[in-house]
Structure 1
Amino acid sequence: MRKYKAILLAMGVSLLGVLGSAKAQAFKAEEPLAHTYSIVARDPKTGELAVGVQSHWFSVGTAVPWAEAGVGAVATQSFTNKSFGPRGLALLKEGKTPEEALAILLADDEGREVRQVAIIDAQGRVAAHTGKQCIRYAGDITGKNFSVQANMMLTDKVWPAMAKAFEKSEGQPLAERVLLALQAAEQAGGDIRGKQSAALVVVPGQKAEPWEAKTIDLRVDDSDKPLEELERLLQVYRAYEHMNKGDLAVEKGQMKEAMQEYGKAEAMFPNNLEMKYWHAIGLANSGQIEEAARLLREVYKKDENWRELTSRLPEVGLLDVSKQQMEKLMK
C-alpha cells in the first residue's frame, strides 16, 4: 500500500511540474484518476436523464456519474473533481444553463486543464469541457440531447463511435442507448489501460420523491469485463420490472395480469428460482394447479426452503387455494 501511494504521489508531483499553474488541489486523494469514457444523455420522449461510464479504475460509479430527477446529469472525470457533480446540479436548479454552470465550475478551479466535464439539463441542453492537458487521446462531442467524452483512450475514434452509436439507436430505451454507446467506445479501442469498472444511472425527467428519484442505478466496481456485467445487470433489471408489475397486479387482485408479468420475467431468466417460483404461485392463484405444481417441483429440487415458504403464503393471503390443492403444491 505504501509503495502504491508513493507511485501516486510521484505521478502528482510530475504532473504538477508539467502543468505549472495547476495547484495541488487538482491532485487530492479524494480526486480519483478516473481517466475514462462516459456519456450524459436525455430521452426526448420520456424526459429521462442518464449517465453511463466505464474506466480502468476501481468503483468509477462513486466518482464520475451524478444525476437528479427533473434537473440534469453531470459526468466529471480525468483528474476528477467530484464536487462538480452536486455543485453542477445545484447550479442547474438555480436556473443556470449547462454552459453557465460549467463556466462557474471551471472559473475557480486551478486544475481545470486536467479536468473533463459534461453537463446536460432537463431540457436536453448540453455543455462539455476537455482540458488542454487531459492525456491523449481526449475529446468530446455534444449533440442533440447528449454529450460523449473520453480521455486517455487508445485511439481518437472512441468518442465519435459513441456519438454515432447513440444517434443510431434512437427509439430504444435510454438505458439501452447509453449502454450501446459505451460498448461502441470499447469496440473502438477504449481506455488505453484496459477496463475495470462501469456504472449506469437513469433518473426521471420530472422531479420525484426521494424513493423514486432513480429509475436505474447499476454499478460494476471491479471486473475483467465490466460492460458485459453491466449489460447482464440491465437485463436482470428489466426482468425484475416484470416481477414488480406482477407484484402490483397481485396487490390489485389481477391474477391473470400478474401471471403474465411473472411469466415474462421467467422467460428472460429461466434459471432464476425467484422468478420461476412467483410465476408458479401466480399460476396456482389463477387455478392452474398442475402447471404450478410442476414449476414448484423444479424449484424445490434446487432449494427446499422454497417449499417452506409456500406453506407460509396462505396465512398472509398470497396463496388462495383449497386444502387438497395445497397438498399438491407442497409435494
Structure 2
Amino acid sequence: MTFSLVARCAETGMFGIAITSSSPAVAARCSFARAGVGAVASQNVTDPSLGPLALDLMQSGQSAAEALNGVIARGKFTEYRQVLMVDALGNTAIHSGPNSLGIWTQAQGLDVASGGNLLANEGIPQAIVDGFTESTGHLGDRLIAAMQAGLAAGGEAGPIHSAGMKIVDGVSWPVADLRCDWTNECPIENIATAWDIYKPQLDAYVQRALDPREAPSYGVPGDQ
C-alpha cells in the first residue's frame, strides 16, 4: 500500500524522500532524513523505529549496506518490513521482507532507491528510479518527477490517499517537509502544488531561522 524513493543530490549533497500510500498520513510514520547523513524509508507494516536506527548507524560511519545489516539484526519482525536507504556517498541499500504485501518490488542505483508494496505491477520502482535519474533541477523537482513517473506506470493497486516529501540540507531540521495526510484526489499532485509554492520561499525560511536580521520580508498583509 506504499511506494517511495530515497535520494541524494550529487551536486548539493541534499537528501530527500518522497512517499505515497492508500493509508493516511504515510509520511508521518515512514520518512526519515538527516542532513549530511542520509535518507531512509521504513514502510510495509511500518516500524517507525527503524528509520532513526538506520540514520544513527550511518552517522556513526557505516555505509548504507552496513546500516541495513544492522537494522535487520536489531529490528523485530523484519520479514514484514521494507527499508530503503541512501548514505552520504550516494550508496543505496534495500530490504524487502518476504512477507511484504501484494506485488512488491524494488530498484536502486547510485543516489536513488525505490521500493513498494501492493503495487499495480512490478515495474513501478524501476519507473521511479528512471524518473529520478532522467530528471534535472532541484532535488525537490526530481523527487516529484520520480513519484509522478511511478504513478504513470501504474502506481498502487488501489487509490492513493496520502503523500509526503522531505528534504534536508545543512541544518538540523528539514528545509522542506510537505505532507498531504488524506485526500480523495491525488496526493502526489497536492504535494507537487505545495512544492511549487514552497520552493521559491525555501531559502528565506532557512535564513529567518539562522539570522532574521538578514531575512527578506514576510510578504503578508501588515508586513512593512
State TM-score, norm by structure 2.
0.89
Query: Whose Rg is larger?
Result: 1
| 2:133 is aligned with 1:167 | yes
Give runs of aligned pairs for residues 187-266 of structure 1, distance below 5 A: 187-204=152-169, 206=170, 208=171, 210=172, 213-224=173-184, 225-241=186-202
Q: Which has the higher helix share?
A: 1
Q: CA offsets, 1:199-237, max 9 Å, x none?
A: 100001x4x3x4xx2111111100122111101110110
Opposite residue 100 of structure 2, the aligned amino acid is C
Give per-residue Cα distances to partners, 1:251-295, cap 9 Å, x unaligned.
669xxxx7xxx9xxxxxxxxxxx85xx6xxxxxxxxxxxxxxxxx
**1:169-188 to 2 correspondence within 5 Å?**
169=135, 171-188=136-153
Structure that is richer in strand per residue = 2
Q: Which residue of 2 aligns with 1:103?
A: 69
Query: Would you say the 8 A contact 2:207–2:214 is kept in 1?
Result: no
Of 36-45 and 91-100, more deviation after overlay is shown by: 91-100
Instruction: Please point out which of 64, 69, 86 is paired with 1:120.
Output: 86
How many residues of Structure 1 are paired with residues of Structure 2 in the alignment? Answer: 221
Aligned mates of 2:52, 2:140 — CA distance in 1: 22
Q: 1:50 aligns with which of 16, 27, 31?
A: 16
3-state DSSP of counterpart to 1:134: coil
- How far did 1:147 drift? 0.3
Asked if the contact 2:2/2:116 (under 8 Å) is kept, the reply is yes
**Alpha-carbon distance change, 97 to 48 in structure 1, aligned in 2, over 3 angstroms:** same
Residue 148 (structure 2) pairs with residue 148 (structure 1)? no
Unaligned runs of 5+ in 1: 1-34, 263-273, 279-305, 319-331
Alignment partner of 1:81 out of 13, 37, 47? 47
Give unmatched runs, 5+ long, in structure 2.
none
Is the contact between residue 41 and residue 84 of structure 2 (CA under 8 Å) also seen in structure 1?
Answer: yes
1:242 positional shift: 7.7
The alpha carbon displacement at 1:96 in A equals 1.2
How far off its partner does 1:36 sit? 0.3
Aligned counterparts of 1:246 and 1:118: Cα–Cα separation in 2: 31
Q: Which residue does 1:27 correspond to in 2?
A: none
Query: 2:112 is aligned with what amino acid?
Result: F
Look up the SS of the partner of 1:184 in the other structure: helix
The 3-state SS of whatever aligns with 1:63 is helix
Q: What is the alpha-carbon distance in structure 2 between the residues aligned to residue 96 and residue 246 of structure 1?
A: 32
User: In the alignment, residue 86 of structure 2 is paired with which amino acid?
Assistant: I
1:229 maps to a residue whose letter is N
Deviations 1:118-164 (A, max 9, x none): 11111111110111221231111110101011111011121111111
Note closer, same or farther for the CA distance 1:129–1:243 as it changes in structure 2 (3 Å cut): closer
